[in-house]
């Protein structure tokens, strides 16, 4: 295994900072007490769920965090977040389809990361 170059080492703190921000947004979206309100189009909430899991997964993988751990932790969080919404949070409800959208976001990020690596171009770069 090759070691990351200087550019990758310089980007990693930025990626980790962006990951922290993305995880903060994820927590707010998933656990804020208010509902979604009016949706701009049908099933827009599923798109939001996909995005709030896709972005942190891709950032974590681009920052070279362990892929199996990233995918496993985010997949568990996808399911647990819906259980918490349905059981613990008043005014919120758990939705299995939201969990599927969350898992799709993780899978899509893992797929992008894997295709990028398999193509020989290395990890996703910005």
Q: What is the mean pLDDT of residues 11-25?
A: 95
C-alpha dihedral, 28 to 31 to 32 to 33, nearest 10°: 180
Q: Are 86 and 93 in contact (CB under 8 A)?
A: yes
Q: Is residue 24 scored above 90 in pLDDT?
A: yes
pTM for the model stands at 0.84
pLDDT at 98: 94
The 3-state DSSP class for residue 19 equals helix
User: 65 lies in a domain?
Assistant: yes
In a domain, 79, yes or no: yes
> 37-88 pLDDT, tens per residue?
677 888 888 999 999 999 999 999 999 999 999 999 999 999 999 999 989 8
Domain that holds residue 71: 6-33+42-118
**Residue 90 belongs to some domain of the structure:** yes
How many separate domains does the chain show? 1
Residue 17 lies in a domain: yes
Q: Is residue 75 part of a domain?
A: yes
Q: Integer distance in angstroms from the first to the last C-alpha of the chain?
A: 22
Residues 6+ apart with CB under 8 A from 111: none
**CA dist list (Å): 27 to 24, 49, 53, 98:** 5, 11, 10, 14
pLDDT for the residue 93:
83
| Max Cα–Cα distance, the chain, nearest Å | 50
């Amino acid at each position: 295994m090759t070691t990351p170059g200087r550019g990758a080492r310089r980007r990693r703190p930025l990626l980790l900072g962006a990951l922290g921000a993305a995880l903060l947004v994820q927590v707010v979206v998933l656990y804020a007490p208010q509902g979604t309100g009016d949706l701009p189009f049908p099933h827009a909430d599923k798109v939001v769920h996909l995005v709030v899991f896709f972005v942190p997964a891709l950032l974590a993988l681009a920052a070279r965090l362990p892929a199996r751990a990233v995918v496993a932790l985010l997949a568990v969080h996808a399911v647990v977040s819906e259980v918490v919404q349905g059981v613990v949070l008043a005014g919120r409800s758990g939705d299995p389809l939201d969990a599927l959208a969350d898992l799709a976001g993780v899978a899509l990020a893992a797929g992008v990361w894997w295709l990028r690596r398999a193509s020989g171009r290395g990890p996703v770069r910005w």
